[in-house]
Chain A
Amino acid sequence: MTLNRQDAKNAKNAKKSRDTTLSCPPKMPKNGHDNVVSLRARVRLMLTLSTRSQYATLLDAAALRLGEETAIVYLETDQPPIHVSRTQFRRQVLAYAAALLDMGIVRRDLIIITDTQSLASIYAFWGALWIGAIPSMFPTLTEKLDPDIYMQGLAELAARSGVRAILTTDEFAPVLARHVPCPVYGSSRLRDTSLQTQTGIEDMDVGATHESPLQTTASEEASVGTRRAVSGGHDNVVSLHRPQQSEGEVCLLQHSSGTTGLQKGVALSHAAVLNQLASYSDAVGLHDGDVVVSWLPLYHDMGLIAGFLLPLAQGIPLVLMSPFDWVSHPALLFRAIHDYQATLCWLPNFAYNHCARRIRARDLEGLSAASMRLFINCSEPVYAESHALFLERFASLGVTEPMLSVCYAMAENTFAVSQTPPGQIPHPDVIDRIALEQQLIAQPTEPGEGAVVKLSCGMPIANTEVRVLDDAGTPLPERRVGELAIKSDCMLSGYYQRDDLQPFHDGWYLTGDRGYLADGEVYVVGRSKDLIINAGKNVYPQDIEALVNTVPGVHAGRVVAFGVPDTREGTELIAVVAEIDTDDAEARQIIDRAIRQTVAAGSAVTVSYVSLVDSRWLIKTSSGKIARAANRDKWQQERGR
């Protein structure tokens, strides 16, 4: 069974919802708030399925055209918002591009950006794109992580992938530089160098207008070049000219999570990213009245593609905040939606619970979310309970059920694979639990005992096909459960400098997710691998187990880690079971504490449950491997759930 979004029924739905949206301009908030700011985009040529051929690379992004329209509003706790117009954005990107050239970065160089989320790291990312280098965003060092483990991971990655330079905070740069086999630059070095080129770049605006959106004008390149020639005395003046980049060239990497040194760089070409943006914009009915709000990290595919490249490429305003701010202060999201009349927001499932349960009533006073078109649930299994909780809490702000949509995505397809049509409530498929578990059939049934509900992830986006395969790789008919496989025009080029890894089988990418198709819509039921998705983050149990194995008092090799689905949190929590020898309460407490601390320091995730058990508690397979699913079942039974 093979499908794609060209399906007539779907196209009709998408059109209907777009028409509705266009005929209803964003409503003003109920309790008119002083701070409401109207961000109007004027987009002359949006990237759509029909205009796609007019875009050659990501540098044709609307945010890089001249204009006073808002490219980014950057929000920080206790700081006034920073408005960046397109002209300012373009100027900064060019200045950072010049600064990167000054540091000797050239085309095809791999640049890792592991700064805290900031405008500087955003300009550096686009500056790298401008000169044809390959940027990749990376998580920064946090209070919890052990700096030595973090730096060792980066050193392995730098050696394995031939990283040309790492950009990070000023504070961290000199420390990191001693541990990695490549140059490390602090953000002020880059900023200062970029400032030197600013004057020259300002000159470029003369003569460049909205009407010449897609190309750098000769005069602006010449003026930047002249300035550089004067200030730096370099002879590579011409190199700030946009290098001729072809569509098929790799433009950026998205790194998978997991043991840092072994992380795979998902290499994406300009064509793949542009194809994804065109298809996905169509799937969500994107238009020039949209405003995106995001707190997502840029090292994650949802944050990088949907919450960053999509609005900047399309020229719709992006209201961006740091994930660190949002996590502790979730009300910031609703404040931003209200203040900027936002319409689109992507969230992993746990965020629905986090917002619903952990925003204080007084932080919502006077706010409206009625401007929203879609909250898009993506990147971890979707719980119907989370949508219900969110709706119950925020209905009074104007959130309605049709605003809650679902997307299925992965970095290997750039981002989205499927999306529910805008304005249409995701279909809850009520199926028989026993048929699902024992016969791998999604058999429709009546709600109640013995039934499970799976929410639809929608139809495949344009030019993406989805199949379900059995264990032998044979395509299965609708409502049969197997591994989801995809084929599209926005797939990865490969894993960066890992020719030993072959991502495709007969042109299909096997996702590792288990699911089925019904009425052309994609349903995800689980995973083929033991992967845990905790708060939108992929966590490999073997990484957690390896860390716990190093804790004194734990029997090495007698440890298991697994995910426990939790409807209160709306995500999988991480449980660790470890065999130990002692009955002494104090000794057990020391081991318990050490396990939690070691995992936090080594992996940046928090273990929610630590169970210390006697020898021979763990179930192993006949080949001596730890059987994670069997141990999880045993653990859950003992806890009486």
Chain B
Amino acid sequence: MDEKEVREKLRSYITRELIRDESYRLTDDEGIVTGGLMDSFSLAEFAVYVESEFGVYIPDSDLTVARMNTLDQMVARVMQDMK
């Protein structure tokens, strides 16, 4: 799976499941947590999704608002461990 595919899967998952509005046009660099689009509880849900969808386990130390606030950050972290 290439980066583009990962990005679009994540974008679609976040708008559908976490923002609960599929018409929301999520940009690559907007603050998802700091912008009030999802709460910090959703970081844990995001981690569950990433593990089941991409087989990537993100350690707790990376699951922070500072490190997972934008789509760009999330994609980069997933790609880091994608085989």
Contacts and interface: CB of A to CB of B under 8 A. Distances in A.
Interface of A: 77-78, 143-144, 324, 327-330, 332, 350, 354, 357-360, 362, 535, 589, 592-593, 596-601, 605-610
Contact of B36 (A77, A324, A589, A606): A606
A500 to B, nearest CB: 34
A597 B20 contact: no
B73 interface: no
A144 B57 contact: no
Interface of B: 20-21, 24-25, 30, 33-41, 43-45, 47-48, 51, 57, 60-61, 63-66
B20 A360 contact: no
Given A360-B48, A598-B36, 11 more contacts: A143-B66, A144-B34, A324-B40, A358-B44, A360-B51, A589-B25, A600-B34, A600-B35, A605-B39, A609-B21, A610-B21
B82 to A, nearest CB: 17
A608 B16 CA distance: 11
Nearest to A605: B39
Given A77-B60, A143-B65, A360-B57, A354 B44 contact: yes
Contacts of B48: 357-360
Contacts of B34: 143-144, 600
Instruction: Give chain A's interface secondary structure class.
Output: helix
B25 to A, nearest CB: 6
Contacts of A599: 36
The 10 closest A-B pairs by CB, nearest first: A600-B36, A358-B44, A596-B36, A606-B39, A329-B60, A328-B43, A328-B63, A597-B36, A327-B40, A358-B45
B36 A78 contact: no
Nearest to B64: A328
A144 B61 contact: no
Contacts of B20: 608-609
A513 to B, nearest CB: 25
Contacts of A596: 35-37
A358 B47 contact: yes
A414 B22 CA distance: 44
Contacts of B40: 324, 327-328
Nearest to A145: B34
B33 to A, nearest CB: 7
Contacts of B47: 358, 360
